[in-house]
Amino acid sequence: MDRSTTDRAWDFGKGAAAGAIALAAIGFWWGGWTTQGSHLTAIKVASEAATVAALAPLCVDSFLKGANAGEQKIEMMKASSWNRGSFIEKGGWATLPGAATPNTAVAKACADLLAK
C-alpha cells in the first residue's frame, strides 16, 4: 500500500504540531519556563521587598531619634497590630525624603521592627 507524498506531509505536519504543543505544555508546567510578564512581575515584587527591607531600618532610626520616642512607642503599642503602620505613617517616619506621601509598606515593616 503506497501512500501519496501529500498524505505523508500532512501526517508529518500533524505530528510536528502535536509535538510542539506537548513541548510547550511540559516546559511551562514542569520545566519552569515563564513568560516575560510573569518574570517581570517577580522582579518587581523582589525589588519592592528589597527596597522595604532597606528602608525600614532607616524609619526605625528616625523614629527612635525623634522627640518622645519612648512615649511614641508606648502609644504605637497601644494600637492594634493592624493600625501600627498607620501610626507610623501619621507620624511622618515612613515619608521618604523628596516624597509627598508616606510609603505604606515601609511603615508596616517599621512598625513590625519597633514592636519586637
The rounded distance, in Å, linking the Cα atoms of 14 and 29 is: 22
Higher-pLDDT residue of 6 and 61 is: 61
Same domain, 52 and 103: yes
Domain match, 61 and 23 both: no
User: What pTM was estimated for this model as a whole?
Assistant: 0.68
Residues 63 and 42 in one domain: yes
pLDDT tens for each residue of 78-116: 999 999 999 999 999 999 888 999 999 999 999 999 998
Mean residue pLDDT across the chain: 91
Are 13 and 67 part of one and the same domain?
A: no
State the residue range of the domain holding 82.
36-115
Same domain for 50 and 100?
A: yes
Q: Rounded mean pLDDT of 66-88? A: 93
Minimal CA–CA distance to 59: which of 98, 88, 100, 90? 88
What angle do the packed helices 36-65 and 104-115 form, to 10 degrees? 50
Looking at the fold, whether 28 and 66 belong to one and the same domain comes out as no
- Count of domains for the chain: 2
Tell me: do 49 and 104 sit in the same domain. Answer: yes
Answer yes or no: is pLDDT of 2 > 90.
no
- Alpha helices (H) in the chain, listed in sequence order: 5-29, 36-65, 69-78, 84-91, 104-115
| C-alpha torsion sign, points 60, 47, 45, 94 | positive
Are residue 19 and residue 40 in the same domain, yes or no?
A: no
**Which has the minimum average pLDDT: 27-31, 47-51, 87-91?**
27-31
What is the residue type of 47?
A: S
Residue 61 and residue 105 in one domain: yes
